[in-house]
């Protein structure tokens, strides 16, 4: 096996690869079912008993509310009873919710089903299981694999939803989602390894005593508001985009995939260089704020365009370039601004903000459409994006540091402070937090300047990044 000069494995083991792909598969098939509904539900919802624009928007976004409320408690429950039992429980709830929505002929039944889908909140548990099964030096790789699976599921869902709607209808999509949930259970049972023990990983898991510090961090709060806003706008837009495409451009619902397919593919290709420049050339803040500015302009262009098909496609392309860029850079910024031992908690608050944005975007989008029509939704979204741009413009430039976990072995508590001082004197180490009860130090390091040989002297076991 190929090894780095510093002495730890540079390649994932077969079990770690199986863990990465199987957990990404669970994440993807679960999220695919949720995303396929976005581009088709508004028109379907108008045929359900008891529907109103507000209730249609609520049905689209309600899964975000239950997901936001339950994801952190589910993660904590997994610390007590095990990761895989919680994943099974969450997927069963998800399957039941999909079946309830598939059976329902009233908007209230679909709302209940969508709420149950979100109640199967296993996101944090999957991340914790990944950390249990993968060595520290490969944790970033598996998180990246899971992140890519979510992006792929989103694109596939937006494109595939209109196609499947033509063949099996929205009720059929809900039933297909239930089947995907059962398939995810099979993946978890057959392919995902069972960890020998559960260990607290402060860089990936929520820690209760870290909430106060995370919620006082102004930079992290800006990013939490950012992901809330981004998901709010996306969900609110999908409350009305099917209407815009159908009623204002004359594009039949079963033809809308032909718009989404090229838009999503081209937007992804255009986005990649911007993300690379942001990270490699350390241009994160200008690219980040420019992308928010593009979101503002896109919502205003929707508002003032003549709603021709060509204009809508052009605006959608710019929107998804900016959206994809922000979706890729926001988690990186959270990691950059988080203290080493607070990263897991910071990501938990970030994810909760994301799901609340989905919920309120659906509900507010439906309400705005009911009172002020399509233009009201676009104006509301533009205003919120402008507020986000104002907050983001005062964000500090991030430090381009990586998390590095140094295994120390047994360590008396009274030695922790002195060791932190010693570690921060090593070239490339910007921050050090020693956790004696875990026998590790969480470091923030500049990879280009890091003296790994000096760090190795503190560790009886291989260090990891």
pLDDT category of residue 191 using cuts at 50, 70 and 90: very high
pLDDT category of residue 209 using cuts at 50, 70 and 90: confident
Name the percent of the chain lying above pLDDT 70. 95
Please classify residue 112 by burial: count the beta carbons closer than 10 Å to its beta carbon, then call 0-12 exposed, 13-18 middle and 19+ buried.
Answer: middle
For residue range 130-152, list pLDDT tens digits in order: 888 887 767 777 888 888 888 89
The Cα–Cα gap between 461 and 78 comes to 28
For residue range 379-388, list pLDDT tens digits in order: 999 999 999 9
Q: What is the mean pLDDT of residues 84-110?
A: 97
Q: Which residue has the higher pLDDT, 164 or 450?
A: 164
pLDDT at 465 over 70: no
- For residue 366, give both structure tokens: 């439906």
pLDDT at 7 over 50: no
pLDDT for residue 386:
98
Q: Is the dihedral of CA 185, 189, 191, 196 positive or negative?
A: positive
- For residue 240, give both structure tokens: 């009305």
Sheet holding 440-445, edge to edge: 402-407, 440-445, 429-435
Please provide residue 308's backbone torsions phi and psi, each rounded to the nearest 5 degrees: -75, 160
pLDDT for residue 364:
98
DSSP state letter for 441: E
CATH superfamily of 14-393: MFS general substrate transporter like domains (1.20.1250.20)
- For residue 67, give both structure tokens: 């997901």
Q: What is the mean pLDDT of residues 298-322?
A: 92
Nearest to 440 by CA among 425, 418, 414, 461: 461
Please provide residue 320's backbone torsions phi and psi, each rounded to the nearest 5 degrees: -75, -25
pLDDT for residue 4:
41
pLDDT at 58 over 50: yes
For residue range 321-341, list pLDDT tens digits in order: 999 999 999 998 998 898 878
Q: Is the dihedral of CA 65, 66, 71, 72 positive or negative?
A: positive
The Cα–Cα gap between 369 and 301 comes to 17
Q: What is the mean pLDDT of residues 408-433?
A: 80
For residue range 214-268, list pLDDT tens digits in order: 999 999 999 999 999 999 999 999 999 999 999 888 888 889 999 999 999 999 9
Q: At what angle do helices 139-190 and 309-337 cross, to 10 degrees?
A: 110
Q: Count CA atoms closer than 13 A to 183's CA, side-chain side.
A: 16
Spans of all domains in the chain: 14-393, 402-456
Question: Who's near 139: CB < 8 A, 6+ residues apart?
Answer: 130, 131, 201, 203, 204
pLDDT for residue 414:
67
Angle at 227 between CA 221 and CA 233, to 5 degrees: 130
For residue range 337-380, list pLDDT tens digits in order: 988 788 889 999 999 999 999 999 999 999 999 999 999 999 99
- For residue 264, give both structure tokens: 């999503």
SS3 content of the chain, % helix, strand, coil (to 5): 75, 5, 20
User: Can you name the CATH fold of 402-456?
Assistant: Alpha-Beta Plaits (3.30.70)
Name the percent of the chain lying above pLDDT 90. 61
């Amino acid at each position: 096996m190929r090894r780095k000069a510093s002495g730890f494995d540079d390649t994932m083991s077969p079990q770690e690869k199986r863990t990465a792909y199987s957990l990404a598969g669970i994440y993807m098939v679960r999220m695919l079912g949720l995303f396929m509904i976005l581009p088709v539900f508004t028109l379907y919802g108008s045929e359900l008993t008891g529907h109103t624009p507000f209730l249609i928007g609520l049905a689209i976004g309600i899964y975000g509310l239950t997901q936001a409320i339950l994801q952190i408690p589910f993660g904590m429950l997994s610390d007590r009873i095990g990761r895989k039992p919680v994943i099974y429980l969450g997927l069963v709830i998800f399957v039941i919710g999909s079946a309830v929505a598939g059976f329902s002929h009233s908007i209230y039944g679909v709302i209940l089903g969508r709420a149950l889908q979100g109640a199967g909140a296993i996101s944090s548990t999957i991340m914790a299981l990944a950390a249990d099964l993968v060595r520290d030096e490969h944790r970033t790789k598996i998180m990246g694999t899971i992140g890519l699976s979510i992006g792929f599921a989103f694109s596939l869902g937006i494109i595939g939803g209109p196609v499947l709607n033509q063949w099996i209808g929205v009720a059929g999509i809900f039933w297909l989602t239930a089947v995907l949930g059962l398939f995810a259970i099979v993946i978890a049972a057959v392919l995902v390894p069972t960890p020998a023990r559960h260990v607290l990983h402060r860089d990936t898991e929520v820690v209760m005593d870290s909430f106060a510090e995370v919620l006082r961090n102004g930079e992290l709060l800006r990013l939490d508001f950012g992901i809330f806003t981004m998901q709010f706008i996306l969900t609110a837009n999908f409350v009305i985009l099917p209407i815009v495409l159908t009623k204002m451009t004359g594009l039949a619902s079963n033809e809308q995939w032909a718009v989404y397919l090229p838009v999503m593919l081209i937007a992804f290709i255009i986005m990649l260089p911007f993300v690379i420049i942001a990270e490699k050339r350390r241009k994160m803040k200008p690219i980040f704020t420019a992308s928010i500015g593009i979101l503002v302009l896109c919502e205003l262009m929707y508002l003032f365009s003549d709603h021709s098909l060509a204009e809508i496609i052009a605006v959608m392309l710019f929107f998804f370039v900016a959206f994809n860029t922000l979706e890729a850079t926001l988690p990186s910024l959270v990691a950059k601004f988080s203290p080493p031992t607070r990263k897991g908690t910071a990501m938990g608050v970030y994810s909760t903000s994301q799901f609340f944005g989905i919920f309120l975007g659906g509900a507010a989008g439906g309400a705005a459409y009911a009172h002020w029509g399509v233009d009201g939704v676009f104006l509301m979204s533009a205003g919120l994006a402008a507020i986000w741009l104002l907050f983001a413009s005062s964000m500090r430039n991030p430090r381009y540091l990586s998390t590095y976990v140094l295994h120390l072995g047994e360590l008396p508590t009274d030695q922790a402070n002195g060791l932190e001082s010693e570690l921060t004197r090593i070239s490339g180490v910007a921050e050090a937090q020693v956790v004696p009860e875990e026998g590790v130090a969480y470091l923030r390091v500049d990879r280009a300047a890091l003296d790994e040989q000096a760090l190795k002297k503190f560790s009886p076991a291989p260090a990891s990044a």
